[in-house]
Amino acid sequence: ESLAGPVRRSKSPVGKHQAFGQYSTGLSRFGAHIARKATQEDSDHPSGDGAEKGASNHSEFENILKTKGEFGAESDDNTTKVEIQQIQHNTGEEEDLTVFQTRAKLYTQDEEFAYKERGTGLLKLNVRRSDGEGARIVMRAEGVLRLLLNMALYPGLICELGPDPKFVKVAEITPNERKFHAIKVRSLVKTTALEKADKIAKVGNAKLAQELYDHLTENTPTKSIGFRD
């Protein structure tokens, strides 16, 4: 017996299993936590049926991709099958026959009687394919094919060779006005800048100018046949 009062002693010593008895609640909680964790991990990993379902979904996804790929290939095939259609523009010369052509530079006299350059291009003397009549001069600019001259020949055509043998002068007469043109004939074959080649080009251009003059006079109508568009 002590000063604090009687001391009560247990009749039997505390065993090891009893020593951990006070932590049994904590252990059970820890075990429950482990069990819950294990359950969660089990839910994260698919079971046999889940794995098969996942594999099936993956297979279906691959099939979809393959199907889309086939569609894409089909669209590419369709694209390659599209034919590019060229748009044909009517020039008004479809029914014409060209009897003479040459490369030339066109000058037109303005209101002050000075000749202004209009452009360079292919000059053609055309007649109707059906009867060989209705001769006209058609000239278009190089590259863009812009119409520079569309002149119908008429009875009593005013046409002459210029002081420079490379030029042919013609007068264009329409119901509303009269224009004077100077046509500088140029060879279709490009020559070098050498002096010898330049002399040959000048002689050739003079010859072409004479040929143009001859064709114009030969195809000049003897009677008025009206103007062509």
- Residue 227 lies inside a defined structural domain of this protein: no
Q: Are residues 32 and 64 in the same domain?
A: yes
Question: Can you tell me the distance from the alpha carbon of 8 to that of 61, in angstroms, rounded to the nearest whole number?
Answer: 77
Q: Are residues 126 and 178 in the same domain?
A: yes
- Residue 4 lies inside a defined structural domain of this protein: no
pLDDT (tens place) for every residue of the chain, 229 residues total: 444 455 555 555 545 444 444 444 444 444 444 445 545 555 555 555 555 555 566 667 666 666 655 544 454 555 555 566 666 667 788 889 999 999 999 999 999 999 999 999 999 999 999 999 999 999 999 999 899 999 999 999 999 999 999 999 999 998 889 999 999 998 765 545 444 555 556 667 999 999 999 999 999 999 875 555 5
Going from the C-alpha of 170 to that of each of 25, 101, 149, 176, 222, the distances in angstroms are: 124, 16, 12, 17, 17
10 Å Cβ neighbour count for 128? 15
Q: Are residues 100 and 69 in the same domain?
A: no
- Residue 115 lies inside a defined structural domain of this protein: yes
Domain span at residue 207? 96-218
- pTM (predicted TM-score): 0.56
Q: Are residues 100 and 30 in the same domain?
A: no
- Residue 9 lies inside a defined structural domain of this protein: no
Residue 138 belongs to a domain with what CATH number?
2.30.29.30
Q: Are residues 109 and 197 in the same domain?
A: yes
Q: Are residues 182 and 138 in the same domain?
A: yes
Question: Can you tell me the distance from the alpha carbon of 6 to that of 135, in angstroms, rounded to the nearest whole number?
Answer: 150
End residue of a domain, out of 48, 76, 104: 76
Contact by Cβ (8 Å): 126, 99: yes
Q: Are residues 213 and 167 in the same domain?
A: yes
> Which DSSP state fits 88?
P
Q: Are residues 106 and 211 in the same domain?
A: yes
106-110-112-115 Cα dihedral, nearest 10 degrees: 0
Q: Are residues 204 and 132 in the same domain?
A: yes
Q: Are residues 103 and 65 in the same domain?
A: no
Q: Are residues 136 and 204 in the same domain?
A: yes
- Residue 225 lies inside a defined structural domain of this protein: no
- Residue 146 lies inside a defined structural domain of this protein: yes
Overall domain count for the chain: 2
Q: Are residues 44 and 108 in the same domain?
A: no
For residue 152, the cross-strand partners are 136
- Residue 136 lies inside a defined structural domain of this protein: yes
- Residue 87 lies inside a defined structural domain of this protein: no
